[in-house]
Structure 1
Amino acid sequence: MQSGIQIGRVPRPGAKEVPYLRVANVKDGYVDSTDVRSVLADDVEASRYGLRPGDVLFTEGGDFDKLGRGCVWDGSIDPCLHQNHVFAVRPDPRVLLPEFLAALAASPHGRRYFVGASKQSTNLASINSSQLKKFPVPLPPLTEQRRIAEILRAWDDAIERVRLLLSRTQKRYDAAAERLAGSANGAHARLGDVTRELTERNAGRLDRTAVRGVSNTSGISMMRGQAVSIDVSRYLVLPPRAFAYNPMRINIGSIAMSRLDAEVLVSPDYVLFACEETRLIPAYLDHVLKTRRWRHDVNAGASGSVRTRTYYAELAAIRVHLPDLERQRAIATALDAVREELTLLGRELELLRTQKRGLMQKLLSGDVRVPLDEEPSGD
């Protein structure tokens, strides 16, 4: 097992640029080589920190989802080094297959070990080389390791196909949204001329179970009970198809339309507004909010200055592309169809990952044993 090259040190004489892998390149089950950087290293360092095909990469940590995350290096870049926040483990091929070790690290057994052994602070965790060396590795026969790796690879292939399809569909949606809803050409209007702010308080109409939050990933969603005040009388009432956002987080996309059929409550710190539907269709505006042009205008504002809070009066000054109502409906319908496809692909991806986790739990714990082929005799 080896640690990697330190980035930012003073290069030695004769050093040359060599590609290296950082934590961002090491994903759960694969290496992302779309953004591989280079570091100055001499021949000694290149030899010491060089990767070989079959090395298993482990991340030191950071966010909890990066803790002990590992995959097998395929040698697609040669030479290639790794930085000091990525460990490289070279299994003894007589007793341990790289694919089996990588699967074991990602299994519930591996996650329990790394979380339990890690040094933790708020939302962060890390492991060192000593803790990694102590990772307990069960050693079934190589034939069984190989069969387990083949079974899990079939799920990995399916997951990768859906992941790529999801990525391509997201790019298709983004491009269509920019072209149809984020256009700089044609009629435009100030958001304040086609929407109105909502300020109605709850005053006892709804209870705590009606409280929702706004996320930049899941839109209007349930709130954790401990985050909700006992007294919700001052909470704001959010009707169906109205919009809510956190003025401190709208710059990262925390704004969404309520797709619920009933009124809900949101924090009194939020800002709420609704469309004047004779001029602006909510479903159309919902897609406008996903465009680069919208994000730029929210971050920069009409004056071009960056703000840390964006209240309704400031949001109202933003100009949005405003075709006629028939065109708005057509755009919303087309983009809704692509977004529904994204939702279905996301569910399929999560189901495949759940199935794989279940298989890993059974196969890597020994609860289910795979049939063994006979090993060559060696005669």
Structure 2
Amino acid sequence: MAKSISHIGDFIEQTSKRNKDSAILNVLSVSNSQGFIQQSEQFENRIVASDDTSNYKIVARNDFAFNPARINVGSIARLTTFERGIVSPMYICFRTKNNLFPEYLDYFFESKRFFAEIQKRLEGSVRQCLSFEGLCNIPLCIPTVEVQQQIGKRLSTLAKEIKLEIDFLELLQRQKRFLLHQMFI
């Protein structure tokens, strides 16, 4: 049986609900290393957001967003740290449909294959950008939802274990510095 080629666009839908009444005040940015963060964290001591945020796009938990001009450096993320927030109108926002587990797509976005596919689809001469259509045209193999969930859970567990090991290493390094300092007082 031949495997059919699917594309990301078969499994996502673009969102662009606006903050019309300016009710949501949580202005977010997408960092290439930390994912969604409050804009005040990314731009310390500067207010980058417009005074009028009524045109900003609303993102909810498990929605994705990316800066079209910075996706080539990894500025794409899934909202997991807040229930909702708003992002600049320049961001492209989308969510997965029911047949795609958001965590599965999240890990795909961290893969070398995804970055290679992005490079093929960047447009522009001075500042290269990826359009929503370009994102939608990226090929994607999708296993069953159950397998996607298993993969997502395993990768999440591994990520947590790696973080624990990194935190433990940091504690050991601090202990070493302390002990060396105590030896030579």
TM-score interval (norm. to shorter): 0.7 to 0.9
Query: Which residue does 1:217 correspond to in 2?
Result: 33
Deviation at 1:265?
Answer: 1.2
Instruction: Decide whether aligned partners of structure 1 residues 226 and 271 sit closer, same or farther in structure 2, where only a CA change above 3 A counts.
Output: same
**Greater relative CO, 1 or 2 (CA 8 Å, sep 6+):** 2
Q: For residues 206-265 of structure 1, give each alpha carbon's deviation from its aligned partner in whole angstroms, at most 9, with x where no partner exists.
A: 11xx11111121111122252232222221111101101110110111111111351111
Matched, 1:245 2:63: no
Deviation at 1:356?
Answer: 6.1
Deviation at 1:351?
Answer: 4.2
Q: How does 1:80-95 map to 2 (within 5 A)?
A: none
CA distance in 2, matches of 1:343, 1:211: 27
Query: Which residue does 2:83 correspond to in 1?
Result: 262
In 1, are the aligned partners of 2:123 and 2:130 still within 8 Å (CA)? no
Amino acid in the other structure paired with 2:7: R
CA distance in 1, matches of 2:163, 2:3: 31
Instruction: Decide whether aligned partners of structure 1 residues 343 and 196 sit closer, same or farther in structure 2, where only a CA change above 3 A counts.
Output: same
Amino acid in the other structure paired with 2:136: A
Q: Secondary structure at the match of 2:55?
A: coil
Matched, 1:228 2:52: no
Q: How does 1:120-135 map to 2 (within 5 A)?
A: none
Query: Which residue does 1:332 correspond to in 2?
Result: 152
Amino acid in the other structure paired with 2:70: R
Query: Which residue does 1:288 correspond to in 2?
Result: 108
Q: What number of residue pairs does the alignment pair up?
A: 175
Query: Which residue does 1:64 correspond to in 2?
Result: none
Amino acid in the other structure paired with 2:17: E
In 2, are the aligned partners of 1:187 and 1:323 still within 8 Å (CA)? no
Deviation at 1:370?
Answer: 4.1
Amino acid in the other structure paired with 2:24: L
Q: 1:347 aligns with which of 123, 143, 167?
A: 167
Q: 2:117 aligns with which of 278, 287, 297?
A: 297
In 2, are the aligned partners of 1:247 and 1:310 still within 8 Å (CA)? yes
Q: Secondary structure at the match of 1:328?
A: helix
Instruction: Decide whether aligned partners of structure 1 residues 187 and 217 sit closer, same or farther in structure 2, where only a CA change above 3 A counts.
Output: farther
User: How many percent of aligned residue pairs carry the same amino acid?
Assistant: 29
Query: Which residue does 1:198 correspond to in 2?
Result: 15
CA distance in 1, matches of 2:47, 2:117: 34
Query: Which residue does 2:135 correspond to in 1?
Result: 315
In 2, are the aligned partners of 1:186 and 1:323 still within 8 Å (CA)? no
Instruction: Decide whether aligned partners of structure 1 residues 236 and 329 sit closer, same or farther in structure 2, where only a CA change above 3 A counts.
Output: same
In 1, are the aligned partners of 2:27 and 2:86 still within 8 Å (CA)? yes
Amino acid in the other structure paired with 2:74: G
Extract unaligned runs of 5+ from structure 2. Answer: 41-45
Higher Cα radius of gyration: 1
* Aligned alpha-carbon RMSD (Å): 2.5
Instruction: Decide whether aligned partners of structure 1 residues 238 and 352 sit closer, same or farther in structure 2, where only a CA change above 3 A counts.
Output: farther
Q: Secondary structure at the match of 1:273?
A: strand
In 2, are the aligned partners of 1:241 and 1:260 still within 8 Å (CA)? no
